[in-house]
Structures are given as C-alpha cells and as structure tokens.
A and B are shown apart, each in its own frame.
Chain A
Amino acid sequence: GLTQVGIMEPVLIRVPKCASTLGIAVEGGANTRQTLPRITTIQKGSSAHICGRLRVGQVILEVNGVSLKGMEHRDATRVIAEAYKTKDKDFVDFLIAEFN
C-alpha cells in the first residue's frame, strides 16, 4: 500500500487577541536555513497559549492572508507584529503548515 510521509497540510488558525502579547518566538525567513518562519516557543499566558492551537515546530505560511514566502526574517516578523498591533481586527489569522 501507499504510505504518506511528511505531507504538509495547510491549516487556518485564528488567534483571538485575548492577552497583551501574542507570545510566539519565531526563527527563519528568506535567505536562512529555515526559509519560512517557524514557531520555536509559545509563552504561557499569551494569546497564542490561551488559543491553544499553535504548536512549536509549525511553519507560518500566511498572516491575515499575506504570504510570508520570500520575506526575510525582519520583514516577516514585522508583518506578524503589525497584525497583532492593528486595532482593525481582534484576531490574527495564521495559515500554518504542519506535518500530519
């Protein structure tokens, strides 16, 4: 039979802004070994932690519909920070890639 190994399945995760901080640490970006931002830490008590759906190791493909592909670390993290800061929305939508 066929065995599926490491299929990347994009998942949309909506994180409500329910705490003062988003609370994720990310590494990566264009021109590094990790070409898309990858979650390395989730801080306790933060919005990401309370939401409960983000996980260490997940890769962020899009933020509020904006693709992070090709963005260097500084630009990608700025997109994430501004999505959390804006008062236009009381949530941030992440398109996440996770291995199933």
Chain B
Amino acid sequence: REKRLTLPPSEITLL
C-alpha cells in the first residue's frame, strides 16, 4: 500500500 506524506503548505512572509 502506498504511503503518502502530506505536509501543509507554508505561509509566506515578506521581509
């Protein structure tokens, strides 16, 4: 069975 790694997208910060 395929195992998927699901990580959330990141926020974006202006520096």
Contacts and interface: CB of A to CB of B under 8 A. Distances in A.
Interface of A: 21-29, 31-34, 40-41, 43, 73, 77, 80-81, 84
B11 A27 contact: yes
B7 A84 contact: no
A25 B14 contact: yes
A33 B5 CA distance: 9
Contacts of B11: 27, 73
Contacts, number: 42
Nearest to B6: A33
Interface of B: 7-15
Nearest to A29: B10
30 contacts: A21-B15, A22-B15, A23-B15, A24-B14, A25-B12, A25-B13, A25-B14, A26-B12, A26-B13, A27-B9, A27-B10, A27-B11, A27-B12, A28-B10, A29-B10, A31-B7, A31-B8, A32-B10, A33-B7, A33-B8, A33-B9, A33-B10, A40-B12, A41-B14, A43-B14, A73-B10, A73-B11, A77-B15, A81-B15, A84-B15
